[in-house]
Amino acid sequence: MAAGPALPAAGAQGGSARRERKAAPPARSERRARRERRGRAPPRGRATCHPARLRQPGGAGALVFSPCGREGGAARERENAPRGLEGNRSFACCYRSFPVPELRLLKPGSASPPPPPRSPGFVSQGRRAAWKRNSPEAEAGTPLLAGPRSPSRRCGKGAAAMDPAGGRGARARRGTRPAVPRSRGAEKGAEKGAARSPERGRVAGQSSNGAATPRAPRTDAPPARGSRSARRAPAARELPAGGAASGAEAFLAPRSRAPAARASATPRSVAAVPDGADAAPARRPPADALRLREVLSRLSLAREEVSGASTLVNRVVSHLIQAIRGKDSCFSSIEPQNAGSYYERVKISKPNEFDIMLVMPVERIQLDESDDTGAFYYVSFKRIPKGKGWLKFLEEDGKLSAFEMREALREIIKQEVKTIKDVEVTVARKKPGCPAITLQIKNPPSEISLDIILTLEAKGSWPISTRNGLKIEQWLGTKVRKNMRFKSPYLVAKQNKSEKVLRGNTWRLSFSHIEKEIIKNHGNSKTCCESDGPKCCRKGCLKLLKYLLEQLKMKYPKELEKFCSYHVKTAFLHSCVMWPNDSDWHLGDLDHCFQRCLEFFVDCLQKSQLTHFFIPQYNLLSLEDKSKHHFLSRKICHELNNGFPVFHENY
């Protein structure tokens, strides 16, 4: 992107009325312009909405899906043999082994041209400031419990009266004064907040006292208003004939779509012809979609719980970071990086598990594969960093000992948790082979589990084993993929169990930071799930997948102990690749999309083949556990064919 004073901000280029409105305060637009001149990406990199990005699904995604086998061993329908993958190497390469969905691709001539590159978009750097802000002092005024819930959902006035004290001046943030030039020290507390731009959270014409302008209930499809919708129209017009339905949808088996389409607020054409006998087992009553949504709503995190848990976790983490940095010169450069489902916003049920990576940048290291998975490595230094205290973690052969490093960190943490006041924290017992140091934080009446993961940021390019992974070109774009691969790969201190002698010197590649980025920016079009953009059900599907596995694990703890949420997350990411378009994930099609993900996962289980999303040669389902994979696949099929009874069971 050429820099220059005349360069329009990405948001303006995208033509979003909302963004232009947001850019109104002079201070901010000036900042943005300055940022652009300095060649930086716009905040969060999501401001660009290139009409051509909203292309028709010519790349892939059109499919017909047969239901999986029934409980009891009915043969799976296989009449939709894989074909049509030619013309799309990435899919052919990675997904040819999935026989059930049939990817019918448009001919090269009819396919849309490759999408224009997206703006870099991923400008992430752990910022210490954020962590400092979460210090106990900053949190002191934050009440753990929000005020009583307003009886009405539109709680403008009531909400304005809620908890006037609290962290970061947020309560007063949406004042009505225009943005004023910043001056440090002069504006504290409410003043500070009042100085903020009032534009956010308000629509034109809304009264300043917080009373909401009456409006129609929200639907899945935002009404055509503002310039965003208008600009989306050309892209829609590019779609193949078939009205509002995308090219992909035109191919979709109508079987289980009919109810979903009814649930969708967007009028869409649905093929009228049911597809024969295999339709029966997976046909869902129309109420299914509603029930899944009801399940989803049960899984959302309560605000008070989030508030309480995040306060505790942030307090503990910021304390530990300060202490660890000061204790050992080797760890002085650690940066916390939030990871895992809570920070990906796909945590379900309770905010009781947090993952924090403590990232240590390391330069000039050499990675040697420790086995043929392509995931485990020995780490050694090409040149040992001076004065950093690394020597004590090196073995005789020069390999960096993951075990020793983690133990050193663990010792520091064990000492430090004792000094944390007001919060009761204990270090959990070691779990063999687990890269995390798990802290238990008392949060009566329950506990929060905080996983601290020692992570090396291996400055340099990704190992060769990842070369054909991350096949997101059709879904997120080639530029996004390139930018992601520009980021350093991470390594976590994880024992490779396949080693004959466990010496604790192997490190496993970790892509938590990339996964988080993908899940937070999951749309094929950049506006997916933004407040004015179309909502998709990708996250909903992932949450349901996690919930299903969680529930089944509760029901069959012994049989399913080997499965973890990373399996379903991986299957989900593959699903996103197979159905790359936002039109494949309409919010109203939740049940259909969820089934599709599950059927893909079941297929992986039946074949004992679930490819690591970033390391294609790495199979997450080891062949030794075939019977367990089949067990889970049978249980999932049972759920699929019976309306997910396990969602309504309590364990």
Residues 117-176 that bind DNA (CB under 7 A): 123-130, 132-134, 142, 146, 149-150, 153-156, 159-160, 162-163, 166-171, 174
Binding of residue 265 to DNA (CB under 7 A): no
- Residue with token string 């001056």: 183
Q: For residues 351-370, which are near DNA according to CB under 7 A?
A: none
- Distance, in Å, from the CA atom of 41 to the CA atom of 395, rounded to the nearest integer, reads 42
Tell me if 68 sits within 8 A of 600, measured CB to CB: no
In whole angstroms, how close is the CB of 133 to DNA at the nearest point? 6
- Distance, in Å, from the CA atom of 647 to the CA atom of 99, rounded to the nearest integer, reads 28
- Distance, in Å, from the CA atom of 288 to the CA atom of 265, rounded to the nearest integer, reads 16
Q: For DNA, which is the closer residue by CB, 120 or 374?
A: 120
In whole angstroms, how close is the CB of 524 to DNA at the nearest point? 14
Question: With CB under 7 A as the contact rule, which of the stretches 180-188, 357-365, 427-435, 627-635 interacts with DNA?
Answer: 180-188
Give the Cα-Cα-Cα angle 275, 280, 283 (nearest 5 degrees).
Answer: 90
Q: For residues 189-248, which are near DNA according to CB under 7 A?
A: 192-193, 195-197, 199-203, 206, 210, 212-213
Q: For DNA, which is the closer residue by CB, 516 or 612?
A: 516
Among 4, 6, 72, 184, binds DNA (CB under 7 A): 184
Q: For DNA, which is the closer residue by CB, 346 or 640?
A: 346
Q: What is the three-class DSSP state of 532?
A: coil
Q: For DNA, which is the closer residue by CB, 14 or 58?
A: 14
3-state secondary structure 330-374: HHCCCEEEEEHHHHHCCCCCCCCEEEEEEEEEECCEEEEECCCCC
Residue type, 578: M
Tell me if 37 sits within 8 A of 43, measured CB to CB: no
Binding of residue 187 to DNA (CB under 7 A): yes
In whole angstroms, how close is the CB of 179 to DNA at the nearest point? 4
Q: What is the three-class DSSP state of 543?
A: helix
Question: With CB under 7 A as the contact rule, which of the stretches 14-22, 448-456, 491-499, 585-593 interacts with DNA?
Answer: 14-22
Among 291, 520, 562, 626, binds DNA (CB under 7 A): 520
In whole angstroms, how close is the CB of 515 to DNA at the nearest point? 12
In whole angstroms, how close is the CB of 301 to DNA at the nearest point? 5
Q: For residues 523-562, which are near DNA according to CB under 7 A?
A: 529-531, 539
Reading the block at residue 373, the tokens are: 């998975």
- Distance, in Å, from the CA atom of 513 to the CA atom of 511, rounded to the nearest integer, reads 5
In whole angstroms, how close is the CB of 453 to DNA at the nearest point? 14
Tell me if 459 sits within 8 A of 361, measured CB to CB: yes
Q: For DNA, which is the closer residue by CB, 213 or 498?
A: 213
Binding flags for DNA, 307-346, as an x/- string (CB under 7 A): x--xx-xx-----------------------x----x-x-
In whole angstroms, how close is the CB of 28 to DNA at the nearest point? 5
In whole angstroms, how close is the CB of 441 to DNA at the nearest point? 13
Give the Cα-Cα-Cα angle 342, 535, 233 (nearest 5 degrees).
Answer: 145
Binding of residue 306 to DNA (CB under 7 A): yes
Q: For DNA, which is the closer residue by CB, 30 or 368?
A: 30
Question: With CB under 7 A as the contact rule, which of the stretches 59-67, 274-282, 304-312, 567-575 interacts with DNA?
Answer: 304-312
Q: For residues 20-79, which are near DNA according to CB under 7 A?
A: 22-23, 25, 27-28, 30-31, 34-35, 38, 40-41, 43-44, 46
- Please state whether 643 falls in left (phi above 0), alpha (psi between -120 and 50) or beta: left
Q: For DNA, which is the closer residue by CB, 100 or 476?
A: 476
Closest CA relative to residue 591, chosen from 258, 226, 148, 362: 258
Q: For DNA, which is the closer residue by CB, 202 or 485?
A: 202
Q: For DNA, which is the closer residue by CB, 370 or 455?
A: 455
In whole angstroms, how close is the CB of 45 to DNA at the nearest point? 8
Q: Helices marked H in 508-589 — which ranges? A: 512-520, 538-555, 565-578
- Tell me how far CA of residue 159 lies from CA of 146, 165, 212, 575, in angstroms: 10, 13, 11, 40
- Residue with token string 């590159």: 117
- Distance, in Å, from the CA atom of 284 to the CA atom of 131, rounded to the nearest integer, reads 47
Closest CA relative to residue 380, chosen from 510, 505, 508: 505
Question: With CB under 7 A as the contact rule, which of the stretches 186-194, 242-250, 285-293, 568-576 interacts with DNA?
Answer: 186-194
445 prior amide bond cis, ω within 30: yes
In whole angstroms, how close is the CB of 318 to DNA at the nearest point? 10
Q: For DNA, which is the closer residue by CB, 310 or 609?
A: 310
In whole angstroms, how close is the CB of 298 to DNA at the nearest point? 9
In whole angstroms, how close is the CB of 421 to DNA at the nearest point? 20
- Residue 362 pairs in a beta bridge with 458
* Strand duo 353-362 + 446-458: pairing: parallel
- Distance, in Å, from the CA atom of 413 to the CA atom of 610, rounded to the nearest integer, reads 36
In whole angstroms, how close is the CB of 296 to DNA at the nearest point? 8
In whole angstroms, how close is the CB of 153 to DNA at the nearest point? 5
Binding residue count for DNA, defined by CB under 7 A: 86
Q: For residues 431-470, which are near DNA according to CB under 7 A?
A: none
Q: For DNA, which is the closer residue by CB, 64 or 306?
A: 306
* Strand duo 425-427 + 376-381: pairing: unpaired
- Distance, in Å, from the CA atom of 172 to the CA atom of 197, rounded to the nearest integer, reads 11
Q: For DNA, which is the closer residue by CB, 322 or 617?
A: 322
Phi, psi of 356, rounded to the nearest 5 degrees: -125, 120
In whole angstroms, how close is the CB of 212 to DNA at the nearest point? 3
Q: For DNA, which is the closer residue by CB, 68 or 542?
A: 542
Reading the block at residue 305, the tokens are: 């719980």
* Strand duo 436-443 + 446-458: pairing: antiparallel
- Distance, in Å, from the CA atom of 640 to the CA atom of 280, rounded to the nearest integer, reads 12
Q: For residues 471-490, which are near DNA according to CB under 7 A?
A: none
- Distance, in Å, from the CA atom of 73 to the CA atom of 637, rounded to the nearest integer, reads 10
